Structure 1
Amino acid sequence: MSRRPAPPPPRGARTHRTRSSSRLRGWLRHHRAMALDSAWRLLKAPIGSLVTMLAIAIALVLPAALWLTLDGARLLDAELTESATLTVYLAHHVDEAQAERVEEALAANEAIGRTRLITAAEGMAEFQQALGLADALGRLEENPLPASVVVTPRDPSPEAVRGLAGELEAMTGVEEVRLDLAWIERLRHLAELGRRVALALAVLFGGGVLLVVGNTIRLAVENRRKEIEVVTLIGATHAFVRRPFLYSGAWYGLGGGLLAWGLLTLGSEWLAAPVSALAASYGATFSLPRLGAAGSATLVGCSILLGWLGAWIAVSRHLAEVRPR
Structure 2
Amino acid sequence: MSAADPHRSQPRQTGSQHGARSRRTRFGSRVRAWGRHHGAMARDSAHRLIRRPLGSLVTMLAIGIALVLPSALWLILDSARLLETELDESASLTVYLEATVGEREAMTVANTLREHPEVAGVRLVTAAEGMAEFQQALGLDDALARLEENPLPASVVVSPLETSPEAVRDLAAQLEGVAGIDEVRLDLAWLERLSRLAELGQRLTLALGVLFGFGVLLIVGNTIRLSVESRRQEIEVITLIGATHAFVRRPFLYSGAWYGLGGGLLAWLLLGLGGQWLSVPVQALAQSYGAHFAVPRLGLQGSTVLLFSSTLLGWLGGWIAVNRHLKEIRPR
Give the aligned residue type for 2:215.
G
Aligned to 1:182: 189
1:146 is aligned, of 153, 156, 163, to 153
Are residues 1:135 and 2:107 paired? no
Partner of 1:268: 275
Match of 1:8 in 2: 14
Residue 229 of structure 1 aligns to which amino acid in structure 2?
E
Deviations 1:133-162 (A, max 9, x none): 222322333322211111112222222222
CA distance in 2, matches of 1:320, 1:28: 26
Alpha-carbon distance between aligned partners in 1 of 2:38 and 2:180, rounded to the nearest angstrom: 79
Per the alignment, residue 318 of structure 2 pairs with 311
Q: 2:103 is aligned with what amino acid?
A: E
Identify which range, 220-229 or 90-99, moves more after superposition.
Answer: 90-99
2:198 is matched with which residue: 184, 191, 195? 191
TM-score scaled by structure 2?
Answer: 0.91
Whole-angstrom distance in 2 between the partners of 1:176 and 1:15: 86
Residue 68 (structure 1) aligned with residue 75 (structure 2): yes
Q: Which amino acid aligns with 1:168?
A: L
Asked if 1:167 is matched to 2:174, the reply is: yes
Which is worse superposed, 275-284 or 41-50? 275-284
Letter in 2 for 1:315: V
Residue ranges of structure 2 left out of the alignment (5+ in a row): 1-5
Distance 1:18 1:145 in 2: 90
- Stretches of structure 1 lacking an aligned partner (at least 5 in a row): none
Residue identity over aligned pairs, in percent, reads: 68
Size of the aligned set, in residue pairs, is 324
Tell me by how many angstroms 1:92 deviates: 2.0
Backbone CA RMSD of aligned residues: 2.0
| Distance in 2 of aligned mates of 1:141 and 1:122 | 16
Instruction: For residue 27 of structure 1, report the CA deviation from its aligned partner.
Output: 1.9
Cα distance change, pair 120–226 in 1 and its aligned pair in 2 (3 A): same
- Is the aligned partner of 1:323 residue 2:300? no
Aligned to 1:32: 39
Amino acid at match of 1:224: R
From 34, 46, 58, the equivalent of 1:51 is: 58
Give 2:217's aligned residue.
Answer: 210
Aligned-partner Cα distance in 1 for 2:150–2:20: 101
* Residue equivalent to 1:280: 287
Partners of 2:96 and 2:125 in 1: how far apart? 10
Paired with 1:144 and 1:281, the residues of 2 have a C-alpha distance of 38
Q: Which residue of 2 aligns with 1:108?
A: 115
For 2:241, the equivalent position in structure 1 comes to 234
1:13 to partner: Cα distance: 4.6
Letter in 2 for 1:305: L
AA partner of residue 220 (structure 1): S
1:205-262 alpha-carbon deviations (Å, 9 max, x no partner): 0000000000000000111111111111111111111111111001001101111111
Q: In 1, Cα distance between the equivalents of 2:90 and 2:98?
A: 25
1:133–1:225 CA distance, 2 compared to 1 (3 A): same
Establish whether residue 122 from structure 1 lines up as the match of residue 144 from structure 2: no
The match for 2:3 is none
Secondary structure (helix, strand or coil) at the match of 1:84 reads coil
User: 2:229 is matched with which residue?
Assistant: 222
For 1:314 and 1:110, locate their aligned partners in 2 and report how far apart those are by CA, in whole Å. Answer: 59
- TM-score normalized by the length of structure 1: 0.93
Q: Please report how far the alpha carbon of residue 193 of structure 1 lies from its aligned counterpart in structure 2 after TM superposition.
A: 1.0
Aligned residue identity for 1:256 = G
